[in-house]
Amino acid sequence: MTNPETTAKPGINIDIKIIFILVLILAVYLPVLIDLVVDWYQDDNYSHGFLILPIAAWLIWRKRNELAETPTKMNNLGLLMAIGSLFLLIAGTAGAEYFTARVSFVGLLFSLCLYFFGWQFTRKIWFAFFFMLFMIPIPYVIYYAATFPMQLLASKVAGVVLNAIGLPLIRQGNILHIPNYTLEVAEACSGIRSLFSLLALGALFAYFTQDNKFKAVFLFLATVPIAIAGNVFRVTVTALGAHTVSIKFAEGTLHEISGLIVFVFSLILLFALGAILKWEKPEFKKLRS
Amino acid sequence: MGKTGIQKTPFLITVALLVVFGGLSYILRYTTVTPDRPADFEQLPLEYKDWQGEEHIFSEVTYQVLQATSTTMRSYTHPQLDNSQPGLFIGYFEDQKYGAQIHSPRHCLPGGGWGIMSHTVTTLEINGRSLPVNRLIIGARNVRQLMYYWFETRSGIITNEFALKFDLFKNALLMRPTDAAFIRLTLFLPQGKTEQEGEQVLQNFLSDFLPKIENSLPFESR
């Protein structure tokens, strides 16, 4: 039996011109990309950025055989979009707006793929380009606009939950007073950190597990409430820990592993929802097949 | 040519586009047009008419976060004013392009524990001249503060953060200096002092100091 991977040679046979263009793109975007990598390194919200490009490259690589068999056809819309992306680079550089210049990098890769190889080819790997967007930190204006409401929401819901459990509690804004302890839901606890990495993960998970487009989009969007729920869970657990065990425990051990708590909690919810969405009544399955 | 190959013309078009736009982006990124003179807060007097000013300094961390080229923060007293004194802050940014950008109070105040109770854009009449400003009432616990702020650049006075961004974009493309100043006036409103009374104090202060403030900045637009 022949291995299909070795017989499909044309997929690996890449035109030197493409390599040249990729190198040129890297040269054009070098300052933008260096800044981006520095951000991943310095900003804990975006340390997952390092993983995005390798995963995106793999997402394309795993389709190499399928792509090799796909007829290519030039699409001039791609050229138009490439010019638009390059204008974004200029706008971002002149306005010192990192987000714009970074998005233009992903936009350019997508546009040139469309320009050279056409829609039929590009649609097979669109997700790799979409996934690359998760390596770009959102504009700080939006970040700050979202942080405060999320802090407040986390405090409010955690307050309700703790009250329901029977913990006497007074809430002032984002500060929770429990009998022996005062818990402040700080900016870092807004949940926005875990939201970014969970969104990327949710997109990947939805892409691989859901065959139905609507279900996939639904699962991806559900990442937002799930991340918020995860954060509420963390605040609740911290308050409970401070009340039932000790303040030292809440501020020490619990606080250190709370990032992990949120992540595991959110992952469980995400997997559960993914499984529910995929589940069909056995009768329907029979009818379809 | 293999299936993934590309034709010569689209290849050349792409290369040309990348070289032109890439070159322009490098020029925009690495050229700085230095203003002909820097901001000079020595020109802004501490003692003027009946006003007595006092200079304040921030913590080192604040200066690092601000990344302004030069700043001044003062509070002024006046014999006819009792317990509330106008506070003046000016941050001058010589080149906005490299991460050192104006932080709008609307984004940093909530982080500093201040709640924004109201925000409007209004036009003040100062010495027969119209001055558009952002007018804020901010509060923390039981303290209230009245605040006016605006931005000045080569293009004149700007009140909106997005307009400021667009102005930066325009000035950078025109190869003009991208410097900008952020001017903020604050006044505590103690119990019993109305917003109208506060506005009167700040506007009196401005009618004395606005020409001095603008003289200390390197913009010609008067």
Residues 6+ away with beta carbon under 8 Å from A48? A134, A196, A197, A200
**What percentage of chain A exceeds 70 in pLDDT?**
90
E strands, chain B, are 47-48, 51-56, 70-77, 87-93, 115-126, 129-140, 143-153, 156-158, 180-189
What per-residue confidence (pLDDT) applies to B189? 86
Residues 6+ away with beta carbon under 8 Å from A225? none
What per-residue confidence (pLDDT) applies to A101? 93
Cβ pairs bridging A and B (under 8 Å): 102
Q: If pLDDT is split at 50, 70 and 90, which confidence band does A88 have?
A: very high
Taking the C-alpha atoms of residue A44 and residue A194, their distance in angstroms, rounded to an integer, is: 10
What per-residue confidence (pLDDT) applies to A2? 41
From the number of C-beta atoms within 10 Å of its C-beta (0-12, 13-18, 19+), residue A4 rates as: exposed
Tokens of B75: 């509070």
B97 interfacial to chain A (CB closer than 8 Å): yes
Task: Report the DSSP beta bridge partners of residue A171.
Answer: A176
pTM of the model: 0.79
Taking the C-alpha atoms of residue B153 and residue B168, their distance in angstroms, rounded to an integer, is: 9
ipTM: 0.79
| Contact criterion met (CB < 8 Å) for A28 and B22 | yes
What per-residue confidence (pLDDT) applies to A152? 81
Taking the C-alpha atoms of residue A92 and residue A85, their distance in angstroms, rounded to an integer, is: 10
State the nearest Cα–Cα gap between A35 and chain B, in angstroms: 11
DSSP-based three-state secondary structure for A105:
helix
Residue A202 has φ and ψ, to the nearest 5°, of -60, -40
| Contact criterion met (CB < 8 Å) for B107 and A20 | no
- CB < 8 Å from B in window 90-149 of A: 90-91, 93-97, 101, 112, 115-117, 140-141, 144-145, 147-148
| Contact criterion met (CB < 8 Å) for B111 and A148 | yes
**What is the DSSP track for B160-189?**
-HHHHHHHHHHHHHTT----EEEEEEEEEE
Asked if residue A7 has pLDDT above 70, the reply is no
Asked if residue A122 has pLDDT above 80, the reply is yes
Taking the C-alpha atoms of residue A191 and residue A184, their distance in angstroms, rounded to an integer, is: 14
Give per-residue pLDDT as tens, B149-202.
999 998 889 998 888 888 988 888 888 888 899 999 999 888 878 888 889 999
Which range of A9-13, A123-127, B143-147 scores highest in mean pLDDT? It is A123-127
**Percentages helix, strand, coil for chain A, rounded to the nearest 5?**
80, 5, 15
Q: Give the mutation candidate from A76, A93, A142 for the B interface (greatest B CB count, under 10 A).
A: A93
State the nearest Cα–Cα gap between A56 and chain B, in angstroms: 19
